[in-house]
Amino acid sequence: MWPEHLPLTARFGVIEFDGGDEESLVESIALVNEFKARGLDMLNVSIGCSTIEGKTPWAEGFMAPYAGRLRQETGLPVATAWCIDGPEVANAAVEKGELDLVMIARAHLADPHYPYVAAQALGDKKPAWVLPAPYAHWLSRYRGIGKAAAQ
């Protein structure tokens, strides 16, 4: 039993890219609506990868439009991570209403300073302050670029 006061999220492959994409997506939307009725708070939109016939259209941000459709048709907040490497792509998907949240696990593993770097790339006036306060304070005080940006 999951506590009511905590958010419940799930990662779900909503499309296979096997030629029956519209049918898969319609079925997934119906299932996601059922998940929502049973208490799901947010869906991490993924691909099925359960068939070797799949022809995934690998491109930067390729899952964001599918996530946006699920968001629009279910009213459920959505996230994804597939091929969203650049801060500009992530920001655009959120601004377009395709995503509520961008998962950055691989980007963060590749660069532990990714949130700071992304904030800088997006022109945040105080990029250090996207981090927890103790780190933000350190960057603002001791790093030249952070110090200038935090003032």
* pTM exceeds cut of 0.75: yes
32, with CB counted inside 10 A (0-12, 13-18, 19+), is buried
- The tokens for 85 are 């490497």
Which residue's entry shows tokens 């030249």?
144
pLDDT at 147 over 70: no
| b/e per residue 111-142 (b: at least 16 CB within 10 A) | eeebbbebbbeeebeebbbbbeeebbeebbee
Check residue 30 and give its pLDDT: 97
pLDDT tens digits along 81-139: 988 989 999 999 999 999 999 998 888 899 888 998 999 999 998 888 888 887 777 77
Check residue 16 and give its pLDDT: 86
Asked whether the beta carbons of 130 and 90 are under 8 A apart, the reply is no
Round the CA-based radius of gyration of the chain to a whole number and report it: 18
Number of Cβ within a 10 Å radius of residue 49: 11
pLDDT at 145 over 70: no
Check residue 106 and give its pLDDT: 87
CATH topology of domain 9-110: Rossmann fold (3.40.50)
74, with CB counted inside 10 A (0-12, 13-18, 19+), is buried
Average pLDDT over residues 72-84: 95
pLDDT tens digits along 20-71: 778 889 999 999 999 999 999 999 999 987 777 778 888 999 999 999 999 9
> Pick from 132, 125, 76, 129: which is nearest to 100 by CA?
76
